[in-house]
Amino acid sequence: MLLNGIPLFDDKNSVFHFLLGFWTYLLGNVGLLLLAFFLVYEAREQENVYNKLGDMLEFAIGFILCGFIFLTLTFI
C-alpha cells in the first residue's frame, strides 16, 4: 500500500515494525528501550528515505492502535 509515495506494509519486516510499536506501548518505560533500538536500527539500515518513513509509520500505527485498544477497554 502506498501513502503519497511512502510504502506501507510492503515486506515481511512490516509486521515486525507494527508489532514492535504495539509492544512498545504495552511495556511502558521498558518500551523506551525498544523505541531506542528501533530508531538506531532505522538509522543504520541502508534504505531510501521513503522506505524508512514507511517503517516508522508502521511502528507508529502499531503504537497508536494499541493505545486505542487499551483506551477503549478502560471505558468498558
Quote the pLDDT of residue 75.
84
Q: What's the residue count for the chain?
A: 76
Domain coordinates in residue numbering, the chain: 2-74
What is the residue-level pLDDT of the chain in tens, covering all 76 positions?
877 888 999 889 999 999 999 999 999 899 999 999 999 999 999 999 999 999 999 999 999 999 999 999 988 7
Give the number of C-alpha atoms closer than 13 A to the C-alpha of residue 20, restricted to the C-beta side: 21
d(CA 28, CA 19): 15
Quote the pLDDT of residue 36.
94
pLDDT digits (tens, 9 = 90+) for 53-72: 999 999 999 999 999 999 99
Model confidence, pTM? 0.90
Burial per residue of 29-57, b for 16 or more beta-carbon CB atoms within 10 angstroms, e otherwise: eebeebbeebeeebeeeeeeeebebbbbb
